[in-house]
């Protein structure tokens, strides 16, 4: 497996990480709920309009100083109101937040990050409403995916199983299904997600994984620091199932389950496993 830094040198990904910053109107005040959406706001140059975020958003570093308004399921209505937002932006839909926005007389915009298409629609919506760097970021992301696909031409198509949760020693695991952004990324790279036929995040047994027989298995452990221990455990587990070490990969980047401003990084990390 080649290092990600070597991969970056191969595909010349200059300028695809984030759009330019802009000066925001003083009267724009966003409350934003959802890590993917928060990341996009900052990546697209809208971060200086964000006055409140959910408790789970931790990137970019500027979010550390922004007031937290609870979680998606349990937002603090009082906290949101105290920030005097001019609009609320949420990942998915929430009847409570929509009703609250109506009470405040401000718009509530919803976005869907289940698929790559949903991410592009979110970027188009941000561009239509605010401009800033949303269009530039989308162009850069498209270029990144196209460049990575060219890198994989010699080895594609491949069937890839993405394991999003596997507890040490367990004989079952949760994998990414066909209706996920992982499937869309692999499709753009000229590969295919390997999973059972139904469900976005199906649970399968070790025997089920063996029967699917993917070319590569990518196990995600976002943010974990015990990397050597985990990698050793996964190599042992999959080795007993007949998968050689060159077919099993562990990724620890903290953004791997967050299809937001670092979506290009997710694609790069996946691509680096398949070379």
pLDDT of residue 204: 96
- Same fold flag, 30-132 and 155-274: yes
pLDDT of residue 213: 96
pLDDT of residue 44: 96
Which token pair is 48?
């200086």
What backbone torsions phi and psi does residue 26 show, to the nearest 5 degrees? Answer: -65, -25
Which residue in 2, 14, 36 sits closest to 143, CA to CA?
Answer: 14
pLDDT of residue 5: 45
The CATH number of domain 30-132, selected from 3.40.50.1980, 3.30.360.10, 3.40.50.1970, 3.30.43.10: 3.40.50.1980
Q: Distance between CA atoms of 54 and 39, rounded to whole angstroms?
A: 12
pLDDT of residue 24: 43
pLDDT of residue 26: 53
Report the 10 Å Cβ neighbour count for 212. Answer: 15
pLDDT of residue 9: 39
pLDDT of residue 17: 38
Q: Distance between CA atoms of 136 and 43, rounded to whole angstroms?
A: 10
Length of the chain, in residues: 275
Sheet strands (E) in the chain: 30-33, 50-53, 87-91, 108-111, 159-165, 172-175, 192-193, 203-205, 216-220, 248-251
Which token pair is 245?
């070490």
| Domain extent listing, the chain | 30-132, 155-274
What pTM was computed for the model? 0.88
Report the 10 Å Cβ neighbour count for 53. Answer: 23
Give the full edge-to-edge strand order of the sheet including 108-111. 50-53, 30-33, 87-91, 108-111
pLDDT of residue 16: 37
Q: Which residues of the chain have pLDDT under 70?
A: 1-26
Is residue 150 within 8 A of residue 179, CB to CB? The reply is no
Which token pair is 178?
């066909």
pLDDT of residue 27: 83
Q: Which residues pair with 31 in a beta bridge?
A: 52, 88
Q: pLDDT tens-digit profile of 148-202?
A: 999 999 998 999 999 999 998 899 999 999 999 999 999 999 999 999 988 899 9
Q: Distance between CA atoms of 73 and 70, rounded to whole angstroms?
A: 8
- DSSP 3-state helix, strand, coil percentages of the chain (rounded to 5)? 45, 15, 40
Fold observed for domain 155-274: Rossmann fold (3.40.50)
């Amino acid at each position: 497996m080649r290092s990600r830094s070597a991969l970056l040198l191969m595909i010349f990904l200059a300028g695809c990480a984030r759009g330019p910053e802009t000066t925001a109107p003083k009267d724009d005040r966003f409350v934003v709920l959802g890590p993917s959406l928060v990341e996009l706001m900052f990546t697209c140059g809208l971060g200086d309009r964000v006055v409140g975020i959910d408790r789970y958003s931790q990137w970019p570093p500027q979010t550390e100083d922004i007031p937290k308004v609870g979680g998606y399921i349990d937002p603090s209505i009082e906290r949101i109101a105290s920030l005097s937002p001019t609009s609320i932006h949420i990942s998915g839909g929430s009847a409570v937040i929509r009703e609250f926005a109506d009470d405040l007389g401000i718009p509530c915009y919803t976005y869907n990050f289940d698929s790559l298409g949903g991410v592009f629609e979110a970027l188009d919506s941000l561009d239509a409403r605010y401009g800033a760097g949303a269009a530039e970021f989308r162009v850069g992301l498209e270029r990144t995916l196209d460049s990575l696909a060219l890198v994989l031409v010699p080895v594609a198509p491949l069937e890839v199983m993405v394991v999003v949760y596997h507890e040490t020693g367990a004989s079952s695991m949760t994998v990414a299904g066909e209706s996920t952004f992982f499937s869309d990324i692999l499709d753009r790279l000229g590969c295919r997600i390997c999973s059972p036929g139904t469900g976005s995040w199906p649970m399968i047994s070790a025997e089920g994984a063996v029967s699917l027989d993917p070319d590569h298995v990518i196990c995600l452990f976002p943010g974990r620091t015990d990397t050597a221990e985990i990698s050793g455990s996964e190599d042992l587990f999959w080795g007993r199932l007949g998968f050689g070490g060159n077919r099993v990969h562990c990724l620890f980047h903290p953004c791997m389950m967050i299809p937001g401003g670092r979506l290009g990084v997710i694609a790069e990390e996946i691509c680096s496993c398949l070379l």
